[in-house]
């Protein structure tokens, strides 16, 4: 290997020129001098991915016990250098034994059966001159091969045992991986909220519209046409939002850059119109100018209003009256939605509460609060979103 050649250049001034290649001690010295050079080259960050790939292919080490990516930081590079040196050192020893022991073992095994070996220098008659020693030569040769195999297996086991410790993730790697997982989870949670709010609202509206159209199909065809038009409009918008959200998942980009982002300023009137077409009687009191809201607050407030109306559709049914108020309360945007509880409704609504958790998550991410529950025979949602700090979001 090149490190041995460089080591030979280092050792050559210290020994006779004729002995640098012919002397075993000189070759061992050159090998030892090359190991520190290998450690230095292993400090490059890309050495770790190559070493990890070799370990996974040759040592059968579990994938999750090894680090991903280049080595960052002194600790990771130092461990990689230690592994690289250990790997090359053991590999060089086993390679040298593999080159020398098999021919030597072959001569020992053949020594009793071929007189040419016994009469030549190759047969080493001065060592194995006695007949009983010659008879033992095949056994000694086989033992050499077994010893070579045992040494190779031991070296492989040692490398496999040390690989997770030297090529495994460092604390910095684990922290970076945890931060990446947290970022990915945040993106996925946001996409899940977008899907739940947009698709859930659309399905609730379409279900009620289709149910109402079926009931009056025979005697009010005009209403049926309006319901079908509303269903078509709702599904078209929802398919567009779904395509955008799934595009974010496919491309693994930031959800905020490409995901659908309707706002109060852009689509509040359309949301109210579609909800009323679904059968809800919505009374909206907007006591401020939505266009003046910070974009992030306007976007999240739209989703909160959408989910509040979806809950009323889902649990209240056709004809439910909803009072919606969107006002400024000091430094906060106040969103309040209220609708009567049916006489037979339980105090806690069924359905898992995913929408309410999504509303609470949206409010919490902006530093606000969300409270929901029965009060005085009605279901009331009260959300406060601070405006300060989101002017450029």
Query: Which of 13-17, 213-217, 345-349, 383-387 is the most confident on average?
Result: 383-387
Model confidence at 25, pLDDT cuts 50, 70, 90, reads low
Q: 138: exposed, middle or buried (C-beta count within 10 Å: 0-12, 13-18, 19+)?
A: middle
Q: Range with the lowest mean pLDDT among 14-28, 106-120, 314-328? A: 14-28
Share of the chain above pLDDT 70, in %: 77
Beta-bridged to residue 136, according to DSSP, are none
Check whether 289 has a pLDDT greater than 80: yes
Q: What is the pLDDT of residues 297-320, one digit of tens each?
A: 998 899 899 888 888 877 776 678
The region of weakest confidence among 215-219, 288-292, 299-303, 381-385 is 215-219
CA atoms within 13 A on the CB side of 287: 12
- Strand partners of residue 323: 283, 338
* Residue 381: predicted pLDDT: 93
What does the pLDDT average to over 170-178?
82
User: Residue 332 — φ and ψ, nearest 5°?
Assistant: -115, 155
Q: How far apart are CA 206 and CA 251, in angstroms?
A: 30
Residue 9 has what pLDDT? 63
Is-contact 162 55, C-beta < 8 A?
A: no
**What is the domain class of 177-386 according to CATH?**
alpha beta
**Tens-place pLDDT, residues 117-163:** 665 555 455 555 566 677 788 899 999 999 999 999 999 889 888 98
Return the percentage of the chain with pLDDT > 90, whole number. Answer: 12
Predicted confidence (pLDDT) at residue 182 exceeds the cutoff of 80: yes
Of 70-84, 216-230, 273-287, 334-348, the one with minimum mean pLDDT is 334-348
Structure tokens at 173: 């790697």
pLDDT recorded at residue 192? 73
Q: Is the overall model pTM greater than 0.75, yes or no?
A: no
Report the run of H or E that residue 171 belongs to, with start and end.
helix 171-215
* Alpha-carbon distances of 161 from 69, 83, 155, 273, 303, rounded to whole Å: 21, 11, 10, 67, 53
Looking at residue 325, its pLDDT comes to 94
Residues 6+ apart with CB under 8 A from 179: none
The 10s digit of each residue's pLDDT in 322-359 is 999 999 988 899 999 998 887 665 444 444 456 788 88
């Amino acid at each position: 290997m090149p490190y041995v050649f460089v080591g030979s250049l280092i050792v050559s001034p210290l020994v006779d020129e004729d002995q640098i290649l012919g002397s075993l001690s000189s070759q061992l010295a050159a090998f030892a001098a090359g190991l520190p050079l290998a450690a230095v080259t292993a400090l490059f960050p890309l050495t770790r991915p190559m070493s990890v790939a070799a370990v996974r292919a040759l040592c059968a080490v579990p994938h999750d016990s090894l680090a991903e990516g280049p080595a960052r930081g002194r600790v990771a590079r130092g461990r990689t250098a230690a592994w690289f040196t250990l790997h090359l050192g053991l590999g060089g020893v086993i390679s040298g034994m593999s080159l020398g022991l098999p021919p030597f073992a072959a001569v020992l095994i053949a020594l009793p059966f071929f007189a040419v070996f016994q009469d030549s220098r190759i047969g080493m008659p001065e060592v194995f001159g006695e007949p009983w020693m010659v008879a033992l030569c095949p056994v000694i040769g086989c033992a050499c091969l077994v010893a070579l195999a045992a040494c190779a297996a031991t070296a492989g086991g040692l490398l496999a045992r040390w690989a997770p410790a030297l090529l495994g993730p460092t604390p910095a790697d684990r922290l970076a991986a945890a931060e990446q997982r947290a970022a990915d989870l945040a993106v996925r949670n946001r996409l899940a909220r977008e899907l739940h709010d947009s698709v859930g609202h659309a399905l609730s509206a379409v279900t009620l519209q289709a149910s109402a159209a079926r009931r009056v199909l025979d005697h009010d065809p005009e209403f049926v046409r309006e319901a079908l038009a509303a269903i078509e409009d709702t599904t078209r918008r929802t398919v567009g939002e779904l395509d955008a959200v799934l595009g974010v998942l496919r491309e693994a980009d930031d959800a905020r850059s490409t995901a659908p982002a309707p706002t109060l300023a852009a689509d509040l009137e359309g949301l109210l119109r579609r909800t009323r077409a679904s059968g809800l009687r919505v009374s909206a009191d907007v006591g401020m100018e939505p266009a003046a809201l910070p974009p992030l607050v306007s976007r999240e407030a739209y989703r909160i209003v959408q989910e509040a109306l979806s809950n009323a559709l889902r649990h209240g049914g056709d004809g439910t009256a909803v009072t919606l108020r969107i006002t400024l309360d000091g430094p906060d945007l106040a969103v309040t939605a209220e609708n009567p509880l049916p006489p037979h409704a339980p105090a806690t609504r069924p359905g898992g509460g995913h929408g309410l958790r999504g509303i609470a998550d949206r409010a919490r991410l902006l530093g606000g609060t969300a409270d929901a529950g029965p009060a005085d025979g009605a279901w009331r949602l009260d959300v406060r979103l601070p405006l300060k700090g989101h002017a450029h979001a």
